[in-house]
Structure 1
Amino acid sequence: MTASTLQNAFMILKAEGWALGFGFLSSILLYLSFFPANLGFFGWIALVPMLYVMRSNVQLRIKLFSASVCGLCFFIPALQWMRLADPMMYFTWIGLALYCNLFFVSALFLTLKFNKLSLVFSFPLIWIAFEHFRSTFLGGFSWYLLAHSQHDYPYIIQISDLFGAYGVSFLVASVNGFLTESLHCLKNKTLKAQAVYVLLLMLFTLTYGALRTSQGIGEAGPVCASLQGNVEQNIRNEQLSAQAATNPYLLLSDSSIASNPDLIIWPETSYSREWYSISPEMKPEKIPPDWNRITQIQKTLGEEVKKRWNTSVLLGLNSQELTPSGVKRYNSALLVSNDENKTSRYDKIHRVPFGEFIPFKEVFPWLKNFAPYDFEYSIVSGAGYPVLEFPIGPDKQKSAKFGTLICYEDTDPSIPLGFFNSGNKPNFFINTSNDGWFKGSEEHEQHLAISRFRAIETRRAIIRSVNMGISALIDSNGKVLKPESTESTNQANTFIWKINYPGPKSKALAVSDWHKFKANQGMLIAAIPIDSRFSLYTKTGDLLPYACWLLLLSIAIFPSKKPPVPAPDN
């Protein structure tokens, strides 16, 4: 590199360095919009500085470099909680940040290609298209959508039952686009029309939100005891310590019986014994004797549960199934019903890369070194969406049906939709998770915040049972309900949080108090509201992002003859 080249680079940086500053400013505002700061109002302006750069007349390489700086300076600190799971997860943390940044920069770059359109129209189309792409491609990562910054604004997020969380992202992106246009095109003749358009979007959203939140949230349903342990993941990882990790849940289940729950819920993989089953496709002569013996022995589990607790129990465990193609291993939720000791099972569909399978391990076997386990732990995806059913009430003559969301499946909107599309609609959802990996970090709050959108999208309550927290009851309006009482038990540092039937006037648990419920051991005793309201989103699914892609392709194929929107003076 010659001295003249360095001098030219310095002159460019001196003249256009403000663009890097604006990119960094956007990253700060984005970061503040999510946990741990949770200042969601910044989401409405967070991308304005970066969009201003993209509309400016600085060099293309400066724009792209600024966009990269913005994305990385947001995703690297936002995802830092991933490194807490295991030392090898440092590589996954940085790798995922780089991966997410590809979508971030691509979306901003595409605004340059649609520069004949006002940002108030083009930017929401582009942003939602790429949010959806990131959320679905290769299994997807649907965290840190623009919508998630608005989780605590109930009127804003109710449109999720029309368009999914993408509808909220669309609104926030529209405002960011309009504000950017306002900054550098005050004399634009269409600015008033753009303002009217944005105000109409906002007016519709707030009116619809007020209407939905004023409605009832259903009848009182089953009483559930949601268990929350505080078990460090390094204990759970050691197979010899598996029983020690299970013991707290046995004691919590014993204590929960005093509340006469219809269902006791254990977190993900908290039950130490594995469940074995034989595929109906297996020919009897092909079944090894050991498998027949094990499956016969475990039939006594229902009797054990009935004798000890006399109610239905949902156990989080690992399961193995013998099939003609070999043994398949699953991350499962096993319902041991109080109705004639029946058992039914849901197998997790959305697997976590490196945590539950090693991508491309046949081609790159060394990738297994990045897994956070000291033993082989790989599962296959479940094959369907079974809605599990259990008896409720004093006489057990009625029943309730639920869909199970294991771990991060409550962050993936396609999984709850799958239950509705299966034809057997659940009355509510249960999220079982092990968040003990992340040791009380902001991951716990962010996970709960995203789960609120699944409740609104389906208009079904969600009760969460999470190791290390945050266990909670979310009603079908997305409200995280505040326990009406907190009691201590005869176990040290163990609490009972109680929520009676939640009506529409039930109090919300303030976000500032969420942290008090993580890294604690206890149980949430709650009556689940059974809502039967219709949700358009369960019928149309991700129609909005697909429509955004279609419009973008149409505009690209049939471009406008209008001149580009003029760039602002630097």
Structure 2
Amino acid sequence: MRYLQASSKLRQLGPSLLSAILFWMAFFPVNWPWLGWLAFVPWLVGIAGQSSKQRLYSSLIFGLCFYGLALNWMRVADIRMVATWAMLAVWAGLFTVILGWVVGKIYDRHPKGGMVLAFPMVIVPIEWMRAYALEGFPWYFLGHTQHDTLPLLQLAELGGAYLITLLVALVNGIFADLWLGEKPECLLSFPLHRKAMGVGLAVTGALWFGYSRLGPTEFNEGTEIAVLQADHPQGIRNSAGAEQVRVEYQEMIRTLFQSHLRPLVLVWPETSYPALVDITDLDNSKWLPEKEKPNGPSQLLGASTIVEPKGEPSKQFNSAVLFDPKGIPIDHYDKIHRVPFGEYVPLKDWIPFINVLAPYDHDYSIAPGERLTRFSLPYSPIPLVFGAAICYESGDSHHFRSLAGGDGKPPVDFFINQSNDGWFHGTEEHEQHLLLLRFRAVETRRPVIRAVNMGISAWVDAYGRVLRPKEISGSPNEKTARIFTITTEELPTGEWGKFKQNTVVLVGPVPKRVNGIPMGWARLQGSWPGFFALGCVALIVFGGKQKARD
């Protein structure tokens, strides 16, 4: 009897565990994107024959297993982050529970529609809600598995990563329906055959659109930017003296100048400048450029900043501060989208013991920024404007769309992303973080330049290509920093890892933006999944009678 019970539970949990492992393998460190097209099939087949209670259980196992594996890199940041890792895995796993329950309800009420209707209809709004609920967690979307399939990646221009999720979910759904066919002749029945043809046409149309939109990488000549990438684990950044960090960055800059490269701007990673920068009066000042460009570059610092208004409490920010070659501040951007526990402790006034999940014992909270800054590239021969995104704002598609004109203001020409990934010690987090920016580049048709402590710093063109750096032969002081220039070739994902946990300086011109769809339509990139959510409600409320299950 016990053997039969164990066998029954294994049959119930086996498909969920298999799907979780297949889905995890579609991402880094394995990075087999083809698994994304079938990873959900075992789970969908399993829940098709289950009761509502069994579906909740199977979906919870799927969610906990997948996110436990996928977020494994969080635990290396700090021993106290193990609890945060577990909490986020449970939080994200709850969305999988909702996914399984709603998919099952629609499948029961509309069995003729099959999984090819139910699964895509539900997973798109579920990912959308996960991206915005509380502070949001827009990582590990089904569509993200196709980041390295450039023709499909171009769909993000029309509907963001959600549209790619929809396409991949359609294929998972039709495979599940084919598997669920009980008789061989069912595979050739007209309704199922028609569905399969429809999915095939959708994939073909997506590939046609992608190939038609792809073009070569082109640069804006004379707009060279240099990115500084140190290799400082967070523990060293916390314990090392400010002077030591300053000396290492100054040595990197000295090595760059010895190579005779002369960029317009030096970009530092997030919070890498080893001093607190006072920006109290910066918003009230006006910078006037000199008629002739001074010797030396401007600098975009990643810095902790402070504002101390008279008669009011001081505030600290995580900022990008642009200085001209003489050290005069031009403008700044203060990070808006803060990371829970990383940059503030949520609900600490309501739940005192929640501080045990924080990586520091002291109050390290920063205030959120209030405006999207549009920086002018100083002394550029071509007038260019860029927007900044700090750290995990790389996952906030709304942030990028707004700067690209979605907020009704003049659009930027490119983006700079500053980040500190020194917490994660060379794990797959570095690659996962970079792949998000491939989607942001295509969604806005604007290139992204990254400066990341411990890597992976990169140039991403408007088609989502990560461009290959080429090392300068005979670079001076190679033991201190290796110098690379950016080429128009694509860097394969298998070589991304070579540029993490290294001290390097990347130098290259700004890639050209590409004319995309009108921003009036592009604003729908972030809202159309909401209509799918309404569709799910309608299918459940106004659908047919639910089938009885044992």
**TM-score of the two chains, using structure 2 as the length reference:** 0.90
Distance (whole Å) between structure 2 residues aligned to residue 65 and residue 250 of structure 1 = 56
Give the Cα separation in 1 of the matches to 2:216 and 2:64: 42
2:276 to 274, 293, 298: 274
Shift of residue 370 of structure 1? 2.2
Of the structure 1 ranges 102-111 and 371-380, higher mean CA displacement relative to structure 2 is found in 371-380
In 2: Cα distance, 1:486 partner to 1:548 partner: 51
Residue equivalent to 1:253: 253
- Alignment counterpart, residue 93 of structure 2, candidates 98, 101, 108: 101
Q: Distance in 1 between matches of 2:52 and 2:378?
A: 63
**Aligned residue for 2:300?**
314
Question: Separation in 2 of the partners of 1:280 and 1:460?
Answer: 28
Residue of 468, 491, 502 corresponding to 2:454: 468
Structure 2: segments with no counterpart, 5+ residues: none
Gaps of 5+ in 1: 1-6, 283-294, 501-505
Counterpart position of 2:174: 178
Output the aligned Cα RMSD. Answer: 2.6
- 2:130 equivalent in structure 1: 134
Residues 1:246 and 1:548: Cα distance change in structure 2 (over 3 Å): farther
Other-structure match for 1:50 = 43
Cα deviation for residue 131 of structure 1 reads: 0.5
Cross-structure match for 1:327: 314
Number of aligned residues: 529
What SS is found at the alignment partner of 1:373?
coil
Q: Which residue of 2 aligns with 1:351?
A: 338
Indicate whether 1:459 and 2:445 are aligned: yes
Q: Which amino acid aligns with 2:415?
A: F
2:121 aligned with 1:125:
yes
Confirm whether residue 41 of structure 1 aligns to residue 26 of structure 2.
no
Inter-partner Cα distance in structure 2 for 1:237 and 1:368: 19
Comparing 38-47 with 488-497, greater Cα deviation is found at 488-497
Q: 1:486 to 1:84 in 2, by over 3 A?
A: farther
Give the secondary structure class of the aligned counterpart of 1:440.
coil
CA distance in 2: counterparts of 1:557 and 1:145, whole angstroms = 27
* Shift of residue 252, structure 1, vs aligned partner: 1.5
- What does residue 4 of structure 1 align with? none
Q: Hey, what does 1:403 align to over in structure 2?
A: 387
Q: State the AA in 2 paired with 1:96.
A: L
Contact 1:33/1:39 (8 A) holds in 2: yes
Select the residue among 162, 166, 188 that pairs with 1:166: 162
Question: For the structure 1 residues 468 and 460, does the alpha-carbon distance in structure 2 shift closer, same or farther, using more than 3 Å as the test?
Answer: same
- In the other structure, the counterpart of 1:152 is 148
1:380-400: per-residue Cα shift (whole Å, max 9, x none)? Answer: 11101111112244xxx5432
The answer to whether the Cα contact below 8 Å between 2:336 and 2:370 also exists between their aligned partners in 1 is yes
| C-alpha separation in 2, matches of 1:469 and 1:531 | 24
Specify which of 56, 80, 83 is matched with residue 64 of structure 1: 56
- Once the two structures are superposed, residues 473-513 of structure 1 have per-residue CA deviations (whole angstroms, 9 ceiling, x without a partner) of 0100000011233444315152111114xxxxx32111111
3-state DSSP of counterpart to 1:333: strand
Give the Cα–Cα distance (whole angstroms) in 1 for the partners of residues 300 and 517 of structure 2: 27
Aligned-pair distance for 1:272? 1.2
Q: Does the 8 Å contact 2:283/2:331 carry over to 1?
A: no
How far apart are residue 276 of structure 1 and its match? Answer: 1.4
Q: Percent identity?
A: 35
Displacement of 1:10 after TM fit?
A: 6.1
Residue identity matched to 1:242: A
Q: TM-score, normalised by structure 1?
A: 0.87
Residues 1:519 and 1:553: Cα distance change in structure 2 (over 3 Å): same
Match runs of 1:209-248 below 5 Å: 209-214=210-215, 217=218, 219-220=220-221, 222-238=223-239, 241-248=241-248
1:201 aligns with 2:191: no
SS at the partner of 1:139? Answer: coil
Whole-Å separation in 1 of the counterparts to 2:437 and 2:176: 31
CA offset at residue 171 of structure 1? 0.7
Matched-pair contact (CA < 8 Å) for 1:160–1:167: yes
* Alignment match of 1:421 (pick from 406, 411, 419): 406
Q: State whether residues 282 and 329 of structure 2, in contact with CA within 8 Å, keep that contact through their aligned partners in structure 1.
A: no
User: Moved runs in structure 1, 4+ residues, more than 6 A?
Assistant: 279-282
Offset of residue 340 of structure 1: 9.3
